Amino acid sequence: MCLAIPAKILRINGNSAEVDFGGVKREVKLDLVDAKEGDWVIVHTGYAIQTMSEEDAKETLRYFEEILKLEDDN
């Protein structure tokens, strides 16, 4: 199964960006998307693969939190 996680772009440097995964910052490649600082992107294996709205990103992150909580309860 593949998993892609929403992240917010903090800074862009050429074809790479520093993104924030809820407090965890990482470098990702922007080769596959046209994005700017402040945009939300879906990241898979170090690449931003799609832009998304902030509303959709936050909703997706809430779903991940619910899944993790269910896993912790078991």
Rounded Cα distance between 5 and 41, Å, is: 8
Query: Domain limits of the chain?
Result: 5-73
User: Mean pLDDT of successive 10-residue segments in the chain (74 residues)?
Assistant: 89 97 95 97 96 95 89 76
pLDDT at 1: 65
Q: What are the residues whose beta carbons fall under 8 Å from the beta carbon of 17, sequence distance 6 or more?
A: 9, 10, 11, 27, 28, 30, 35, 37, 41, 48
Q: For 5-73, which CATH class?
A: mainly beta
| Predicted local confidence at residue 11, as pLDDT | 98
- pLDDT value, residue 30: 98
Least Cα distance to 27 among 37, 13, 38 occurs for 13
pLDDT of residue 44: 95
